[in-house]
Amino acid sequence: MSDVVAGHVQLIFADPASAVAQIKEGKVRPLGVSSLTRVPALPDVPPIAEAGVPGFEAVSWTLFVAPADTPAAVLNKLNAELRAPMDFI
């Protein structure tokens, strides 16, 4: 994202969490989201499939793991903390 803002690269795929602030500040221009549906945090940004590339979808997942014997209370706390930043999406 820093290289797009600085003009070193012309295009990247970025997750909404890292892009929303840059978009809202006018530092970058979104071309489309890679999911098949609009992202609630960016309701005016169309899916790429809707913007001219029918059928386009690219999604990714991030997996967090902990040792199998991690206490449930610790897992619950980690889950809550990891989910909190995503509430705006």
pLDDT in the model for residue 72? 96
12-23 pLDDT per residue, tens: 998 877 888 999
List the beta bridge partners of residue 33. Answer: 47
Residues 29/88/61/50 CA torsion (nearest 10 deg):
-50
**pLDDT, position 59:** 80
Q: Which of 34, 30, 31 is nearest to 56 (CA)?
A: 34
Task: Specify the pLDDT at position 87.
Answer: 65
Banded pLDDT at 89 (limits 50, 70, 90): low
Q: What is the pLDDT of residue 45?
A: 93
Instruction: Write down all domains in the chain, each with its CATH number in brackets.
Output: 2-88 (3.40.190.10)
